[in-house]
Amino acid sequence: MPRAETSLSEQLTKIPAAVRPTVKAAIKTVKEVAPKADEITYRSRPPRSPSAMWKLVRYAVDGTNVVGVGTFTSHSALFFYRGRELDDGSGLLQGSGKDSRFITLRGPADVERQVVKRLVRKAFKLAATAK
């Protein structure tokens, strides 16, 4: 039997209180940059391990995933599906996977940095050029 959809607001009530403000700031930033992007909530549950990311929501344009927000017990992350292709002179992007990269967010102030907002904008511009 398929699992019922979980709303983003319901997901937010389940994440650790310590990281909730950071997650909310990340979501707000993505929505400000791309207000028309599709918001897709993951059907995930809290991970059993504190070292595993709990993917909460992803934002897509024309069916293509662009940016996601996830959290751990002590920090959160913005992950970029085509992060390898982003021009990042800041050194913030981490990861060595085939395509995706992420930014570690230790608090809401990390999300407010102009370099983070610039990377989110670049990710959506990159998605627009793929059409």
pLDDT tens-digit readout, 13-61: 888 899 999 999 999 999 999 999 999 998 877 888 878 889 999 999 9
Q: How confident is the model at residue 1 (pLDDT cuts 50, 70, 90)?
A: very low
Helix axes 114-129, 20-33, angle to 10 degrees: 50
Domains of the chain: 8-129 (3.30.1460)
To the nearest whole number, what is the mean pLDDT of the chain? 90
Count Cβ neighbours within 10 Å for each residue of 16-26 and write b for 16 or more, e otherwise: eeebbebbbbb
pLDDT tens-digit readout, 34-45: 999 999 998 877
Please name which of 112, 113, 86 lies closest in space to residue 100, comparing C-alpha atoms. 86
pLDDT tens-digit readout, 59-77: 999 999 999 999 998 999 9
The SS3 assignment for 81 reads coil
Q: Identify the weakest region by mean pLDDT among 4-18, 86-100, 101-115.
A: 4-18
Tokens 């995930």 sit at which residue? 44
Residue 90 token pair: 């800041």
- Tell me the pTM: 0.90
